[in-house]
Amino acid sequence: MKFKENQFVTNLILLLFSYCFLTSCGQNLPFGKIEEKVAPKEKVAPKEKVVPRKTLSLLEGEFKREDSWDNFKTLDSETRAKVIQRTSGETKDEKRKDLFLLDKAKISFKKNNFKASIENLQILEKEFPNSDILTESRLQLALAYFKIGEKKKAYSKLEENIKKEKSPIGRAISFAFLGRIYESENKISKALSSYAKAFSISDKVPNKRQLSSKIVNLSEKLIPPYRLVSLINKFKGENAGPYFRIAMIRKSIRKKKFKTALASTRIFLKKYPKNKYISEISSLEQKIKNILSKKLLKVGVLLPLSGKNGKDGEKIYRGIQIALNHLLEKRPDLQVELSVRNIGSPKERAGLTEKKTYELINNTKVIGLIGPVYSPAAKIISEISEKEKYPLIIPYAPNFKMDNKKRWIFRNTLNNKMQISAIFNYVINRFRLRRFALVHASNPEENEKKKDYQKIVSKLGGYFTKTVSFPMSATDFRPQMLSLGGLSDKQLRVKFARLSRHKNFRIPLGYEGILISAKADKIILVVPELPFYNIKGVLLLGDRKWNNTKIAKHAGSYIKNAFFVDGFLHSSKKEIVKRFVFDYEKLYRKKPGLKEALGYDSAKLVFSAIEKGKRSKLDIREYLKNITNFEGVTGKIKGIKRNDFIRQLYILKFSKGKVREVDMIYP
């Protein structure tokens, strides 16, 4: 009978003790009012301003934001008795003394006399190392340490509790308190890990509703995003796993990242098919699909991805894909998709190009087109684009004829006229040169280019005093050097007997710069011949065929005065180029070239229109037509001329065996 009375008194004391202890915890921990202000240790997302769509149920009622854990004090004596079960071998006096010390520590804590509280709890631990209330004692001791700023000791006591406590519920409660302290210091990741462990350690953990709400709401505050992804992966097989995934879904919807939200709902449905929220998430998935289908913008891509021109088409397509990735990183709220058609080799299958173009514009509701690579397909597709009124950006096709009559066609290219205009514009205005010589291969293409050279240089105020050609099979360039006015050492001594003895003497030449228009293998042979025939003190000029490290390797010091031009330089120090090159290399394990860069900028032109709210074909056309101050990896665009984008080109030179960027200039 006495045993029953003693047991009743003990249970009553425990019930009162539990109520007082947990109530005071609620007042002094982050879920109640926190008196101590602690500087933030981890970035926390700013207060969410984006109002969720009314059509999307985010389970707000299920996961209410709560700043207190008042429900924690509703633990009944039976649950608490399981956490702090007593041994039957102790005497009544011993039981009363350890309880008396704990009660005394509680009273001191309540009076904010934390040091006295700590002293009583330390005596309890020292004199009663086997007490069955040590779990409760260590919790109280951790709180007292926290109050006086001894945070490491507070963590240590809670971790000791977690390690020594045998009851799953007891360990879960310690994890929950540990999470509360972490949260008070804005250590959000650690707080969430502790809450997740508390939630996952036992199915019977008290206040599961509050814990799940904490996990969901606190997870939405985490920045950067990878922190939440890490927690999702860490606890995916635990009780807390579904709630981290729900947090990802909610956060993505609030930020209007609907593709991310859709992916997360699909993962949830696959991984947690028996979860109680499965029907809500399933309904949410369908609603997100409907939103995406209404917001989705499609851009058509018409490129040769197989056959003779397949490699070039693939290069441009890769650049387009990088541009799309960058757009969606910057504006995750935009729903943009590529509709791609392989047009093969147009010379052999012209009918296929026409068929694929009509199929694309009739079946996919695209708002703009990008492609193709070369002129034959460009002619076919441009005619259809003009007829059907679709804006088209051609990302290369340098020989395709452009004119002001084309209202829907734009080209982003680098042709010979642009290159020559740029290099001569640079040297004429920068170095004040006027007289030039031209050395070129003898073939129909170069003969045609020669006419362009003369017109462009004349327009800029310069002229050619010498024009020399060489056969395609040439390996000896003596006749050409002599035609340029060069002399061998023997000829020099004969013609300028006295003057040739002077160290700095140079043959009088009728030009100040030489344009060498040839392929790299010929440039390597021609350049060393110039000093051999005493042609010195002149600038060497070239187009993008000079942008070749083989020339730097084999031509040596003879090219130190060479300037040439190109539409792209993968080693540029510009931030926009460095990012493009880095992401391209990361994805494809190689460096991008001109075609990849043109593909990137062509897509970026369309995407920039979409970013600025252009959603119709006409709006996109007008945007492209009036574009100014657009920055791409191939240079800044300041407008259009005959429907070609007027873009800066790279002025380059060799330095220490490498190609270096000198300047940017408009043609």
- Encoded tokens for 388: 């059907």
Site of tokens 């051999």 = 532
Distance of CA 458 to the CA centre of its chain: 47
**More confident call, 601 vs 197:** 601
pLDDT tens for each residue of 417-452: 999 999 999 999 999 999 999 999 998 888 888 888
| pLDDT at residue 272 is higher than 90 | yes
Range with lowest mean pLDDT among 88-102, 219-233, 547-561, 600-614: 88-102
Task: Decide if pLDDT at 5 tops 50.
Answer: no
- Residue identified by tokens 């009553």 is 12
Mean pLDDT of 351-363: 91
**Three-class DSSP category at 404:** coil
Q: How many residues does the chain have?
A: 667
Q: What is the mean pLDDT of the chain?
A: 83
Model pTM? 0.66
Query: In this structure, how many other beta carbons lie within 10 angstroms of the beta carbon of residue 543?
Result: 22
Count the neighbouring beta carbons within 10 Å of the beta carbon of residue 46.
Answer: 8
Sign, CA dihedral 582-588-593-597, equals negative
Q: State the maximum Cα–Cα separation within the chain, in Å, rounded to a whole number.
A: 136
Helices then strands (H, E): number in the chain? Answer: 26, 15
DSSP string covering 14-37, please? HHHHHHHHHHHHHHHSTTS---S-
Rounded Cα distance between 310 and 312, Å, is 6
At residue 501 the predicted structure's pLDDT band, cuts being 50, 70 and 90, is: low
Cα 564 from chain centroid (whole Å): 33
Quick: pLDDT tens for 539-581: 999 999 999 988 988 877 788 889 999 999 999 999 999 999 9
- 614/632 Cα distance (integer angstroms): 19
pLDDT band at 346 (very low <50, low <70, confident <90, very high): low
* Number of other residues whose CB lies within 10 A of the CB of residue 354: 17
